[in-house]
Structure 1
Amino acid sequence: MVTAILLLLVTILCVWAIFRELKTKNFFAVLFAGASALIFGWFSVMTIWYNLFG
C-alpha cells in the first residue's frame, strides 16, 4: 500500500507540473508531465484496486 501512496504523490506532482508548464508555454514538458501523470496514475489506481479487491 505504501507503493500506491508514493505513486499517487508522484501523480499529483506531475499534474502540478502540467499546470506550471502550461503557464510558461513549455509544451514539450507538458507532454512528458502528462504522460508521466497518466502512467503513474494508472499504476497507483491499479495498485490500490489490487490491494483492496485482489
Structure 2
Amino acid sequence: MGLVIIFSLVTLLALFGVIRSLREKNILGLLFGLGTAAVFGWFTIMTVLHHGYPVAH
C-alpha cells in the first residue's frame, strides 16, 4: 500500500511540474515531466491492478 502512495505522489508532482513548465515554456522540463508522469503513472495503475487497494493478502 505504501508503494502505491509513493508512486501516486511522484505522479502528482510530475503533473504539477508539467503544468509549471508549460507556463514557463520550458521544453526540457516538459519532456522530463511527461516522461516521469507516464512511467510512474503506469506503475501506479499496474500496482493497484495487480495487488489491489487495499492490499489483498
What are the ranges of 5 or more consecutive residues in structure 1 without an aligned counterpart?
A: none
Identity %: 36
Counterparts of 1:9 and 1:48, CA distance in 2? 14
What are the ranges of 5 or more consecutive residues in structure 2 without an aligned counterpart?
A: none
Could you list the runs of 4 or more consecutive aligned residues of structure 1 that deviate by over 6 angstroms after TM superposition?
Answer: none
For 1:3, the aligned partner's letter is: L
Root-mean-square deviation (CA, aligned residues, Å) is 1.2
Task: Tell me which structure has the larger Cα radius of gyration.
Answer: 2
Tell me the TM-score normalized by structure 1: 0.92
Give the corresponding residue for 2:12.
12
Residue deviations 1:12-32 (CA, integer Å, cap 9, x gap): 000000000110000111000
For 1:48, the aligned partner's letter is: V
Q: Which has the higher contact order (CA 8 A, sep 6+)?
A: 1
